[in-house]
Amino acid sequence: MTQPNPYQQQWPGQPAAQQWPEQPAPAPVVAGWDDPNRGGWDTPTAAWSTPPSRARVTQPRSGEHLLDVRDLRVEFDTRDGVARVVNGVSFHVDPGETLAILGESGSGKSVTAQAVMGILDTPPAVVRGGQVLFGGEDLLTVSPDRRRQVRGQEIAMVFQDALSALNPVFPVGWQISEALRSRRGIGKADARRRAIELMDMVQIPASADRVDDYPHEFSGGMRQRVMIAMALAMRPKVLIADEPTTALDVTVQAQIMDLLATLRAELEMALILITHDLGVVADVADRITVMYAGRVVEQADVHTLYASPAHPYTRGLLASVPRLDHRGHGLHSISGTPPNPTAIPDGCAFHPRCPWAQQMCRMTSPALTRIGRLDRASACHFPPEALDARLA
Amino acid sequence: MARYIIRRLLQMVVTFVGATFVVYALMFANQNDPIQALAGDRPVSDNVRQVLTEQYHLNDPFLVQYGYYMRGLLTGDFGKTLTGRPIGDVMSDAWPNTIKLALLALFFATLFGIAAGLVAGLRRGSVFDNTTLALTLVVVGLPIIVLAPIAQLVFGVKLGWFPTTAGARPSLYGLILPALVLGAASTATILRLTRASVAENVRADYVRTARAKGLSARRVVAVHVLRNSMIPVITLIGVDLGTLMAGAIITEGVFNIPGVGSKLLLGIQTEDGPLVVGFVSVLVVVFLVTNLLVDLLYAVLDPRIRYE
C-alpha cells in the first residue's frame, strides 16, 4: 500500500478502456470467456485489461471502519512444525455492506473469522500479531471479559454445518434465546416469545409450534435459518457467515443467501461472507477479498473483480467456474495444489502454480499494492493488467 | 413410548423365567440328597423322609418342582432356608444393607469419577490427567480381593479413620470404606469414560457455537459440554448399579456386612438351594429394572433417540 504503483499511470492511456464506456460489467461475467480465439484461462486477452466499473461501496464517514482487521497473523503449533495459517490479512467492513472473503479450502479464511470472533482453540492456535479494530477498539488487546461481551452481541457468527453446530440435546428455541437468558437475564416466557419472533424473522413456518423441536427434526435449510436466528438474537452489528450454504442443496442455498441479504439490509448490519463459491458471491457481495495461503491476494469490488481480476490466482478461480455455454470444452483447473501451511514457498506463495511466474516471484513476496484507485489492490509483482500492457 | 415399555416388560418376563430356571436347575442338579442335607449328620427315619418328600414334592419331575417353586415366588413366598428361617425374612434383613452399600458406592464413584474425568478431559495432557490415568490403571488392575484387605489394613487398622468391619447393623459411616472399595473399579471406568467423552465434546462444533454466543466459559462447560458428555456415562452408571448390587460378595465378606453378597456366599457354601435361587431371582429383577430405567433415561438425555 505504501509503494507507488508504476502501472497505475498507464490506465488513462489504455486503448481497451473504450470498450466499456459506461455500464459496469454484468456479474458474473468471466472476462474473455466469449472470445473464440482464446487459448486458455491463462492466455491474456483484451478483456482482462478492461477498466473497472464504478464501485457502489459507501465510503467510511470518519475514516474509521466498523470492523477493521489489520495485518492479522495466526499460527498453529503442530507436530510438523509451525503452520502459518494466516499471514498478515487485512480487510474492513462498514454497516450495511457485504464483504466476501473468497478462497479455496485451507486458505485460512475460516481461521481468520474465528480469530476475529476470538473463538480459536488456543493452543494449538496462536494469534501472532495484527489488530482487530471494532469501532476503533482493538479486540486483541482488550480484557477477556470485554472480548466475551463483544462476541455474539456486536459480532456474531453463522457456521457451516448447522446440524453439528447446533447442540443436539436442546430445543432450537432454547438455543436461540440462550444468550438472551444467560446474558440479558430475561425470563423464560419472554425468551420463548423472543425465540418465536426470531424464528419468524428468518421465515421458519409455524414457528410457535416448532420452537420446542430439536435440531434433528428440521431440514438442512431450516436448521441454517435457526443458526441465523441464533446469531441475530443479540442484534449484532457485524455478522460473519462461514460458508453458510455449503451443506445445502442449490435451491436452498439461494433462499439462504436471499435471507442473509434481506436481513443485512433490514438490520443495517455489516455482513462478512466466507465462501469458496463464486456463484454465491456474485449476487450478494459488494466487495471481495481473495485469500490464498493465508494472505490477501486481491481486493476489489465485485464487478471489477469479475470483469478484470488483477491476480493470476483470481483469474484461475474465475476460469474454473463451469459454464453451460461451454459444454464439451472440459473444465479449467489451476494446476498443482495449495501449499502446506507448514512449508509455504518463498517469494510469492502462488508462484509454483502461476503460469507467469518469473525469477522475482520466487525470490520476493509481493506486497498487497493498490491498483488504479481506492479499495482495489493485488498482491502480484506482475498483475495481469500490467502483464497485458507489457505484451501489447 | 408406551409400546416400547410394554415390549421391554414382556422381554423381562422371558428373561426372568429363563434366568431363574437355569439357576434352579443348576442348584438342584448338584444336590445328592436334599433331605439328608436338611438333617445334617443325624439319621433320617423313613417316615420323616416320606413326609418331607411329600412336602417338598421331591418325587415329582423336575419341571413340576420348578413350577411349584415359581408359584411360590410369584405369590411372594420364597420358601425356607435349610435352617428353617423364611427366606423372605433373610432378604428383608440383607437387602437394605446391600442397597445402602451399592448406592453409597455408586454415589462416590459418580461424584469422583465425573468430577475428575471432567477436569482430566478439559486439561488433556496435564499432570492431573496423567496422574489419574496411572491411578485408574492401578485400580482397574487390582482385584477387589486385594484392594479390600489393603484398604481395611491402611484406613481401618493403621490410620483408624474408619471401623475395620461394619458389624451386624452397619451404620452409614461404617459403610463408607467398603463403599469406596466396592466403587473403586466403577470410579475408574466412569472417570475414563467421562474424560474421553468430555475431550471429544469439547472440540464439538456446537461448543464452538456456544462460545460464539459469548456465553461464559463456565456455562459452556456446565451446560453444553457436560450435558452431552453424560449420555454414555449415564448408561455405564446404570449397568454399574446392577453389578455393584451383585458384586458385593467379596466386599461384604471382607468387611463382614450382612448383605445379599454374604448371604449368597453362605447359600452356595451350604448348598442351600432355595436361598440361592431366591436371591438370584431378585438380583435378576434388579438388573432388568435398572437396565430398563437406563434405556428410558437415555431417551430423555438424548432427544435423537426415540423408542417405538
pLDDT tens digits for B78-107?
777 777 777 788 888 888 888 888 888 899
CATH number 3.40.50.300 given to A67-285: yes
pLDDT in the model for residue B115: 92
Q: Could you give the angle at which helices B87-122 and B127-141 cross, rounded to 10 degrees? A: 150
CA distance, residue B201 to nearest chain A CA (Å): 10
Of residues A59 and A65, more confidently modeled: A65
Query: Could you tell me where in chain A the CATH 3.40.50.300 domains are found?
Result: 67-285
Q: Distance between CA atoms of A24 and A151, rounded to whole angstroms?
A: 38
Q: Under the phi-then-psi rule, with left for phi > 0, alpha for psi from -120 to 50, and beta for the rest, what region is B256? A: left
Report chain B residues whose CB lies below 8 A from the CB of A170.
227
Q: What is the pLDDT of residues B297-308, one digit of tens each?
A: 888 888 888 776
- Residue A91's H or E segment, with its range, is strand A81-93
Domains of chain B: 2-74 (no CATH), 90-199+225-301 (1.10.3720.10)
Chain A interface, mutation test: which of B197, B208, B209, most A Cβ atoms within 10 Å? B209
Q: Which residues of A touch B303 (CB under 8 A)?
A: 168-169, 214, 216
pLDDT of residue A68: 87
Residue A34 has pLDDT above 70, yes or no: no
Q: Are B120 and B128 in contact (CB under 8 A)?
A: yes
> Min CA distance, A228 vs chain B (Å)?
12
Mean pLDDT calculated for residue range A305-318:
81
Per the model's pLDDT, the better-predicted residue between A338 and B38 turns out to be A338
Find, among A295, A308, A313, A287, the residue nearest to A374 by Cα.
Answer: A287
Interface contact flag, B208 A149, Cβ < 8 Å:
no
Question: Is the CB of A168 less than 8 angstroms away from the CB of B302?
Answer: yes
DSSP H helices in A287-331:
302-307, 312-319
Contact assignment for B208 to A165 by CB distance below 8 Å: yes
Could you say which of A117, A169, A214 has the minimum Cβ distance to residue B212?
A117
3 state DSSP class of A244 = coil
Task: Give me the pLDDT at residue B30, please.
Answer: 65
A185-208 mean pLDDT? 87
Using CB atoms, pick whichever of B215, B231, B304 lies closest to residue A179: B215
Kindly provide the ipTM of the predicted complex, given to two decimals. 0.75
Residue from B260, B227, B231, B253 nearest B90 by CA? B260
B233 — contact with chain A (CB < 8 Å)?
A: no
Q: Return d(Cα A285, Cα A25) in angstroms, integer.
A: 15
In terms of Cα–Cα distance, which of B201, B264, B300, B280 is closest to B17? B280
Contact: A159, B203; criterion CB under 8 Å:
no
Which pLDDT value is given to residue A58? 45
Phi/psi of residue A88, each to 5°? 80, 60
Coil vs helix vs strand at A234: coil
Q: Taking the CB of residue B303, how many other CB atoms lie within 10 A of it?
A: 16
A117 vs chain B: nearest CA distance in angstroms?
7
> If we measure between CA atoms, which residue out of A199, A177, A202 comes closest to residue B215?
A177
* List of chain A residues whose C-beta atoms are within 8 Å of the C-beta of residue B199: none
- Cis bond upstream, residue A28 (ω within 30): yes
The shortest CB-CB distance from A179 to any of B205, B213, B227 is to B213
Q: Which residue has the higher pLDDT, B129 or B90?
A: B129
B303 touches chain A (CB under 8 A): yes
Within an 8 Å CB–CB cutoff, is residue B123 touching chain A? Answer: no
B124 interfacial to chain A (CB closer than 8 Å):
no
Interface test with A, best of B200, B213, B221 (most A CBs within 10 A): B213
Of the ranges A23-27, A148-152, A382-386, B204-208, which one carries the lowest mean pLDDT score?
Answer: A23-27
User: How far is A241 from A134, CA to CA, in rounded Å?
Assistant: 17
pLDDT for the residue numbered A387: 53
Q: Does A168 touch chain B (CB under 8 A)?
A: yes
Per-residue pLDDT, A386 = 57
Question: A50: helix, coil or strand?
Answer: coil
pLDDT per residue as tens digits for the range B255-296: 888 888 888 888 888 777 778 888 888 888 888 888 888 888
d(C-alpha A25, C-alpha A288), whole Å: 16
Q: Which of A169, A170, A177, A226 to mutate to test the interface with B (most CBs of B within 10 A)?
A: A169
Give yes or no for A184 touching B (CB within 8 A).
no
Torsion angle defined by CA atoms of residues A167, A171, A176 and A181, in that order, rounded to the nearest 10 degrees: -100
Q: How far are the Cα atoms of A141, B263, B266 from residue B269, in angstroms, in the given order?
A: 74, 10, 5
Measure the CA–CA gap between A219 and A242, rounded to whole angstroms: 19
Q: How far is A266 from chain B (nearest CA, A)?
A: 21
| Burial A6-39, CB ≥16 within 10 A → b, else e | ebeeebeebebeeebeeebbebbebbbbeeeebe
Taking the Cβ of residue A145 and every Cβ of chain B, the question of whether any pair is shorter than 8 Å is answered with no
CA torsion, ordered A145, A146, A148, A149, to nearest 10 deg: 120
Please tell me which residue of chain B has the smallest CA distance to A215: B304
What average pLDDT does this structure show over B43-55? 78
Touching check for B218 and chain A: CB below 8 Å? no
The alpha-carbon gap from A178 to the nearest alpha carbon of chain B, in Å, equals 8
Measured in Å, how far apart are chain A's first and last C-alpha atoms? Answer: 27
Min Cα–Cα distance to chain B from A168, Å: 7
- Report CB contact under 8 Å: A178, B206: no
Q: What three-state secondary structure class fits B247?
A: coil
Q: Under the phi-then-psi rule, with left for phi > 0, alpha for psi from -120 to 50, and beta for the rest, what region is A133?
A: beta
Query: Helix, strand, or coil here: B249?
Result: helix
Place of cell 439319621: B43
Give whole-number Cα distances, A285 to A127, A132, A280, A298, B142, in Å.
Answer: 28, 21, 8, 15, 65
- Give φ, ψ of A57 to 5 degrees: -75, 130
Task: Flag if B206 and A165 touch (Cβ within 8 Å).
Answer: yes
In this structure, which amino acid lies at residue A31? A
The answer to whether the CB of A310 falls within 8 A of the CB of A105 is no
pLDDT value, residue B111: 93
- For helices B260-269 and B273-301, angle between their N-to-C axes, nearest 10 degrees: 140
Closest-CA residue of B relative to A113 is: B212
